């Protein structure tokens, strides 16, 4: 692999790779995109990320970075031009890290469980997702973006919610993003998806539907012991 330049190893539907694509685009960083087959991992991925064997991996002038939230901070600290992704105040920055981690542990994980389960197990996962979103609703209240007036780190981390959750809701016949319960999040979804560059490079709804239809049916018996 060449030592110069920026390369991103991703997977078309990975929300973790997507946030890195957004960040590079917002910063105006040119890069080579390398599509990985996560179901049949390449020697390159195993070499670049031997610890977790996961996308995304960013390679910058030969330096290799894994873990999407760590990559986002690296991008912001390396390409210091606007827009700044992290808040400049240390407390605001700590809060962005706190809620980013929370959204991963409490919204993404529970939401994915709700996609891949049915019955009581699903009801519980839907409730957990909604409970977690109530906290994000409070964080968002009175702001246009989670980053304040403009899209920032936390918006990019939570961004999957805006375009992926509606697909999950439809596939699993569940309601999570209820606009009467979450007016601020509802507005944020519109604001976020209308932001320049955010919608440009997203996978199509149809392709995502097909992927998650099969993934949820594949994962259900393995992880949750039941068929869906």
Residue from 2, 4, 51, 119 binding its own copies (CB under 8 A): 51
C-alpha–C-alpha distance, residues 58 and 151, integer Å? 21
Q: Is 73 in the site for its own copies (CB under 8 A)?
A: yes
Per CB under 8 A, contacts with its own copies among 181-210 are: none
Smallest gap, in angstroms, from Cβ of residue 100 to its own copies?
A: 10
Residue from 46, 47, 63, 210 binding its own copies (CB under 8 A): 63
- The pair of three-digit structure tokens given for residue 132, joined into one six-digit string: 């977690």
Residue from 16, 102, 163, 192 binding its own copies (CB under 8 A): 102
| Beta strand extents in 38-78 (DSSP E only) | 57-60, 63-66
Residue 215 burial (10 A CB sphere; 0-12, 13-18, 19+): middle
Residue whose entry in the numeric block shows the structure tokens 């839907």: 126
C-alpha–C-alpha distance, residues 145 and 127, integer Å? 24
Which span sits near its own copies by CB under 8 A: 69-77, 160-168, 206-214, 217-225?
Answer: 69-77
First to last CA, the chain: 43
Q: Is 53 in the site for its own copies (CB under 8 A)?
A: no
At residue 39, φ and ψ (nearest 5 deg) are: -90, -5
Per CB under 8 A, contacts with its own copies among 129-168 are: 135
**Which spans of this chain sit near its own copies (rule: CB under 8 A)?**
51, 60, 63, 65-67, 70-71, 73-74, 77-78, 90-91, 93-94, 97-98, 101-102, 135
């Amino acid at each position: 692999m060449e030592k110069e330049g920026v390369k991103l190893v991703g997977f078309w539907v990975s929300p973790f790779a997507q946030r890195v694509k957004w960040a590079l685009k917002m910063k105006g960083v040119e890069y080579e995109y390398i599509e990985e087959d996560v179901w049949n991992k390449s020697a390159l991925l195993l070499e670049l990320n031997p610890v977790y064997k996961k996308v995304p991996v960013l390679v910058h002038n030969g330096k290799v970075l894994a873990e999407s939230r760590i990559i986002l901070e690296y991008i912001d600290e390396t390409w210091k031009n606007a827009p700044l992704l992290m808040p400049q105040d240390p407390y605001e920055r700590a809060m962005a890290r706190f809620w980013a981690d929370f959204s991963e542990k409490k919204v993404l994980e529970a939401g994915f469980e709700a996609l891949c389960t049915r019955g009581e197990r699903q009801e519980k996962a839907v409730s957990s997702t909604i409970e977690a979103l109530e906290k994000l609703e409070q964080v968002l209240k009175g702001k246009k973006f989670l980053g304040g007036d403009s899209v920032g780190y936390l918006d990019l981390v939570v961004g999957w919610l805006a375009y992926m959750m509606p697909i999950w809701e439809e596939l699993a016949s569940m309601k999570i993003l209820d606009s009467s319960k979450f007016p601020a999040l509802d507005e944020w979804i519109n604001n976020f998806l209308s932001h320049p560059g955010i919608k440009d490079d997203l996978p199509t709804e149809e392709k995502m539907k097909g992927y998650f239809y099969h993934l949820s049916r594949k994962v259900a018996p393995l992880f949750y012991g039941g068929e869906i």
